Structure 1
Amino acid sequence: MNTTAPAVSWSTPGRVTYTVLLVCWMAILFEGYDVGVMGAVLPALATDKAWSLTPLELGVLGSYALAGMFVGSFAVGMMSDLMGRRRMLLLCVSLFSLTMIGAAWAPTPAWFGVLRFAGGLFLGGVIPVAAALTVEYSPPTRRGINYGLMYSAYSLGILVAAGIAMWLLATHGWRTVVAVGAVPLVLVPVMALLLPESLEYLLAKKKTAQAEHLARRLGIASLNAFQPVMQEAQSSPRDIMSAIFSPRHLRATICFWAALFLGIMLVYGLGTWLPQIMRKNGYDLGSSLSFLVVFSLTAAVGGVILGQFADKAGPRRMVALFYVIGAVGIYCLTNKNTLLLNYVLVGLAGLGSISASLILTGYLANYYPSHARGAAVGWALSFARIGAICGPIVGGYIGSLNLPLALNFVVFAVAALAAGLLVMLIPPKYQAA
């Protein structure tokens, strides 16, 4: 995941870099909570007599936000080019938090699904905008590690959702746990105060005077590192599509897309169904939620550690290895193990799903040439969101067939193994013309 430094001096003060990183980290944390809350409250929703949902209906309900994210990633990405990255990040956090209030008081499953879909529209815009701001304001030599640090908040958000559920679910019900997702509204003014606009955006929009004023305020001595690269800006759509889809690149593109599809399916499938499966296996509500805590915490730490391994040994081999390790851990959960061993196996599942997929995304971003990098990542992640939608549905479908819930682990283990094999099939180097 090494990034080649541009031939320009870097003069952005460290305090600016870490302020932007903090705000983007917070936005990703809030997103992680809103996505992870579905898995945290699923056991309670399953026993809610007022709604009487079947396993398949639960799986579909868990996919509404993911469907919204699929649509939102396109729309918000385009709007950020028109309205500015800072404005869109703050708007997305505000609006998806508002939808959590509505979802918490939804009178029917249909309304709950509509509000989760609406929230997903704005959730989908957070990751690309936060990633762009983090990379833009980070020195070239630290973009990989800062990227990993920012995305560690996603797993921590799922962890917080599990912790809040363990604290409030039994006494206050699932609606209160969902409503906690609106807390970011209180912090949006602080985020707005701290976060600067994208200098790259201002310069691309020819707002040079505004960019120079902002740079002086931030203590940035030179705007050279933020100037659009004209050669890349003039690349035609045909050049970009050729860099991704021409016959000599098609193998890499198919393997990246398919591996990310399976990896993200693992993340959302396990994140949604893990507490419910463990509860069906005999654990009480608190213990079953603790597995989600271990799953998320291990992935949060593992993403940073795996990124460092990938820098030294190469991302292709390390990502493939950790997908296979994850497959072994997931499959072994089908056995009757001790509680401690199950915690270890769930931790391996977190490493082999969230952490591996995170590093694979970084590998993809640095694999393609710079003029096609944004398109390559955007198309791949959009396709991967279909996997995110499928993950909860797969678990619900298996449950609707009255088959053992442990079969979910077999299916997800096979998916992890296939993802690892696909990563190894990626050509080691991009095949330049």
Structure 2
Amino acid sequence: MPPLLPATARALLARTARVQRDGRAPSLVAGVVRDGGLAWSAGRGDVAEPHTDVQYRLGSISKTVTAVVVLRMRDEGLLGLDDPLERHVPGTPLGERTVGQLLSHMSGLSSESPGGWWERVEGGSLEDLRLDPSDVVLGAARRFHYSNLGFGLLGELVQRHRGASWADVVTTEVLSPLGMTRTTTRPSGRAAAGSAVHPWADVVLPEPEHDAGVMAAAGQLWSTLADLGRFAAFLLGDTGDVLAPGTLEEMGVPAGVDSSAPGWSAYGLGLQVMRVDGRTLTGHGGSMPGFLAGVFVDREEQVGAVQLANTTSGLDPLVPGLLADVRAAEPRVVDAWVPSAPLVPLDVLGVWFWGPAPHVLRARSGGLLHLGPLPGRAGRASRFAPREDGTWVGLDGYYAGETLRIAVDHLDLATFVFTRTPYDPAAPVPGGVDERGWR
């Protein structure tokens, strides 16, 4: 892939160096991903060379890898997102919570597993956790509540369905196909030592390394900058045979958040979704005692950034700044517009009225339709994809999942009728139209 311009590389290096110094990380490696791989990378502090091949612990980025396997099984028809956990992992007091709620942290389960601090002590089996009703702390689907325990249970689900350990499954189904050969469950070869940095002095303390047992699916993996860059390329859409592109897009749809509002952070299905400086970033952060990590991509700009450091806390986020630097210095040159025939007659497109409110139905590239208010007006907007039966299904916005039917004189959308003129008396307007008309 073509390298970044020297001026861009200098700006990225300066930002990375400042974050490492100010955050007092013993070592920090970072990179920018474009066109399928690392287009720029750097290491600061006590980093062995090549810095792209030193392992660091990924922490919760492991959750995204777990989610990919769960969604592969969904796509195979082995489970549904609305399935209760009990159907796949029977015998827990949490069984009525669904697979989808676990993936999106909407299950209401405790943030941590019972017993010792799982991130610092050896783990055991699901039975060793001795779960009880107190491990449910909130009602289902009431609010976002991050749950490491929930992903531990998803790892157990993976293990039972595949008849192999979680580690073997994610290696076989995700890591190996993506070429992430230096991503492992325990440190292997060149690996950074986990460290805590004293808050009031420039001294460090080693952090322990261990096997988290049943909680491994929540944060066990170790990886290198090169491998994490490959995973960023996956998140940008280079999914290969690992996951259907549509499923990857589904993972990044926020749960329980209005994604049209500025300045938010949310969670999809195993992916964090953030709005930063007007851009939507998808990926995941990670932390374990001794380590911090991050991988986020801007799919519209087709660029990603990754970082790995061996410090427990105190490091400012680096990835969003790297993405902003690249976007400012080397903005993506988009493909040229070319004409394309819409999948509906031209006379269907144009202005339609929901009651007195004008909307516009437009054809979009890729065979899609878009229905939304006139520019400058507030209102609901969604894209629609065609179905084989001639109807259209909403892809996003208020009408996501809803059916659009196009008739000669009206549009029928989720019981709403759009007409060519406001409350057209010739169209089947629900409740009818006052026969005296406008006056």
TM-score calculated relative to the size of structure 1: 0.28
Larger fraction in helix: 1
TM-score calculated relative to the size of structure 2: 0.28
